Homo-oligomer: A and B are copies of this chain.
């Protein structure tokens, strides 16, 4: 059996903590950790929508992902200094936005916008999945704030489900849940799965990093991932059950 460096079994998540309400400025926020990966997620609620959406009675949810330069083992240049956003950043920002929108009823949100900022303070693999999982908590609090402020109707419930994400991969032929950075580098196949609290898929992104994969391997990864997102869903519920 493949031993994991940190003693986990293949089916184990890393220790996950969700520090809800970390920011005193944002309408919703969460500092989430998946092991040594730490992502600060804030939700900014504003009235109004982008111009292309005005007058349609629907809201908008979008996301921006970024990494601090020394989140990683080697310092990387700031994208603001380079003057352009890299492909990876773009791709992950878009993924987070789509994932959150999948559980939002934009009609119920009204003509309001929520921007989710997911800034990776420390990176050890799984930053995009931690970001999605934490962003949901921040979003839930921002929407609750908006209901209290009557920016969203008391009877409206813009959140139709919860959403969480986890990575899975095949290492030395065996499927593994929630890869740390050193595992991610070794994985032959890498997959990110975004699923709702009810266990429905939002995104399935599997990539052959070093070796192509067959249908049976894909099935094994999906099983493992759904078990992982189910546990993350419980942790989100627990975090949201407490006092804000």
Question: What residues make up the interface of A, taking CB atoms closer than 8 Å to B?
Answer: 23-26, 29, 36, 40, 42, 44, 46, 64, 66, 68-73, 75, 78-91, 93-94, 98, 102, 115, 117, 119, 121-123, 161, 191, 196, 198-208, 212-215, 218, 222
Query: Could you say how many copies of this chain the assembly holds?
Result: 6
Q: Name, among A66, A70, A85, A222, the residue most crowded by chain B CB atoms within 10 Å (CB to CB).
A: A70
The 3 A-B residue pairs with the shortest CB-CB distance, nearest first, are A87-B90, A200-B212, A79-B80
CA gap between A85 and B83 in the complex, in Å:
8
**Interface of chain A, helix or strand or loop or mixed?**
mixed
In the complex, what residues of B have CB within 8 A of residue A206's CB?
201, 203-205
Query: Does A204 contact B202, Cβ atoms closer than 8 Å?
Result: no
On whether A115 and B201 interact (CB within 8 A), knowing A36-B24, A70-B25, A87-B93, the answer reads: no
Query: Does A203 contact B213, Cβ atoms closer than 8 Å?
Result: no
**What's the nearest-Cβ distance from chain B to residue A173, in Å?**
15
In the complex, what residues of B have CB within 8 A of residue A93's CB?
87
